Structure 1
Amino acid sequence: MEKIKIVVVEPAGALNIGSIARVMKNMGLTQLVLVNPRCNPVGEEARQMAVHAQDILDNIVVVDSLPIALQECQRAITTTARPRALFTDLESPRKALPWLIEPNVNSALIFGPEDRGLSNQELNYGQRFVGIPANPVYSSLNLAQAVGICAYELYQAFLSQNIDKSPAYANLQENPTNNNNSVSSQDAPVEAVEAYYDNLESLLLDIGYLYPHTAATRMAKVRRLYNRSYLKLEEVSMLRGMLRQIRWAMNRNRP
């Protein structure tokens, strides 16, 4: 659990940040990363809501961009309430989130700001996409509530793999189950995959397969295709090598 980052993009409410810290502490999560927060994340309001999770607030990491927040992560899941913004189906937290729990793998669960959620560009940084099923009459969730639901599902998945045999918890836990979402710990870091996408987009623009005005939409579809493969580090290295060789061949044959 300590290898999972909770990443929140541009949070605006200090009360929400305090509430997030508290539920993270409840569920065994320790890493809170904020991208360009629009409030004081360690002020009195946040501390009032955090209660006994002051240590989570004291260790908050604030960064300028989502790619920086995802450095050293091999797996990332983004959350959204807008399924039509994607070219793939949303998964429930219970189905997708156990994938983040893997020994020796750094991972991230990403949430958007209170007023808009994650943009299409920000969603692209996820390899899988989670939506919380809620009453369609009123499905909008508060940011801290959404984090709380996902944190709970993460902890239940963790318990299913690491049963606590103490009497206080024995009746609250299900029997261990195999995690069919598990893959090799050699998953490619997010920054390596992003570097490949940058190189690929540049090449596809040069050869005329992509056009500047539609490149973002086309590349989003390409990302979805690759994300289904859960690329390994050696596979990304191979793909980047292919792009370098294509560049070399193109330059050699130019007048």
Structure 2
Amino acid sequence: MSLSSQTLNNIRVVLVEPAGAANVGSVARVMKNMGLQHLTFVNPQCDPLGQEAQWMAVHAKDLLESAQQVATLPEALSGCQRAIATTARSQRHLAIEPHPPRTVLPWLLDCPSALIFGPEDRGLSNQELNYAQRFLCIPTSDEYKALNLAQAVAVCTYELRQAIIHSGPDLPAPIVEPHNILPRDHVPATLDQIEAHYEQLEALLLEVGFLYPHTAQARMMKLRRLFNRANLSESEVAMLRGIHRQISWKLSQIR
């Protein structure tokens, strides 16, 4: 297996509620063109193994057959350490600045990661965007901004492949962590471990009155941004969850 194949093997393409079988087949085809193998469907609204999808996949039918189907986005991200969500929204509508593919996609290459695409008719919701640590926006003409799902996947997977096989001063520097001085034993937490921490934290903050149900989502979004910048390790997440449990226990003793 070549270096590029080994590196791209870390990355799964996640399609959230895809509605068009032709799009699904086209996505499988372009993934195989670019050397990606792992495709995940979240609650698909079409038949990913139907005849139309297989027609469009051509020689990539094996990717459709091996694709994982799950009910929720957190399930699709299980085992991943990093995730980038694609969006067509402008910066003023997002909590985190989106970056073009060539700049941000190399961030996925070092560990098990996911590249998330939303439904064709609406894109990713605010809640779905919360599960990613970085946002990607493909620069397009102001005259017509909307890209077809398969076209968007083609652009991103092409740039992933280029990030591996080319380097040099003419390429934009990839996004890096400004605080990325980590101990040698640093093992990044997986996204499902971090999500479990967020769920536990939200329940605790609701219990102590720091959060209120009608504002919890907005405040948790800010807390997610804070923790996402920290590049938490498995041991750090375990420590934070231990703190949450101890506080909950103490609260139960003083009631």
CA contact (8 A) 2:102 2:174 kept: no
**What runs of 5+ residues in structure 1 fail to find an aligned partner?**
162-172
Out of 127, 131, 137, the residue aligned to residue 121 of structure 1 is: 127
Identity of aligned residues (%): 55
Q: How much does 1:251 deviate?
A: 2.7
Aligned residues: 241
The Cα RMSD (Å) is: 2.1
TM-score, length-normalised on structure 2?
Answer: 0.88
Q: What CA deviation, in whole Å up to 9, does each residue of 1:204-247 have, x standing for no partner?
A: 11111111011111111111121122222121112112212222
- Find 1:100's aligned residue among 94, 108, 116: 108
Matched, 1:222 2:230: no
Letter of the structure 2 residue corresponding to residue 74 of structure 1:
Q
* Alpha-carbon distance in structure 1 between the residues aligned to 2:169 and 2:18: 34
Question: Residue 139 of structure 1 is aligned with which of 140, 145, 148?
Answer: 145
Q: Distance in 2 between matches of 1:85 and 1:63?
A: 29
Structure 1 stretch displaced more, 24-33 or 224-233: 224-233
| Residue 110 (str. 1) matches residue 116 (str. 2) | yes
Superposed, 1:1-255 pairs within 5 Å as 1-83=8-90, 84-102=92-110, 105-160=111-166, 181=176, 186-254=187-255
Aligned residue type for 2:39: L
Query: SS in structure 2 opposite 1:129?
Result: strand
Deviation at 1:177, TM superposition (A): 9.5
Q: Aligned partners of 1:60, 1:141: CA distance in 2, in Å?
A: 23
Displacement after TM superposition at 1:63 (Å): 0.9
Give 1:179 shift.
Answer: 6.0
Moved more, 129-138 or 177-186: 177-186
SS in 1 for 2:47: coil
Corresponding residue of 1:164? none
Query: Normalising by structure 1, what TM-score?
Result: 0.88
Output one character per residue of 1:155-214: Cα deviation in whole Å (capped at 9) or x when no partner: 1112137xxxxxxxxxxx989998663867721111110111011111111111111011
Structure 2 CA distance for aligned equivalents of residues 79 and 237 of structure 1: 29
Give, in angstroms, the shift of residue 7 of structure 1: 0.3
Question: What secondary structure does 2:85 align onto?
Answer: strand
SS of residue in 1 equivalent to 2:143: coil
Higher deviation after alignment, 139-148 or 184-193: 184-193
In structure 2, the residue corresponding to 1:152 is in which secondary structure?
helix
The one-letter code sitting in structure 1 at the alignment partner of 2:135 is: F
Is the Cα contact below 8 Å between 1:78 and 1:109 reproduced in 2? yes
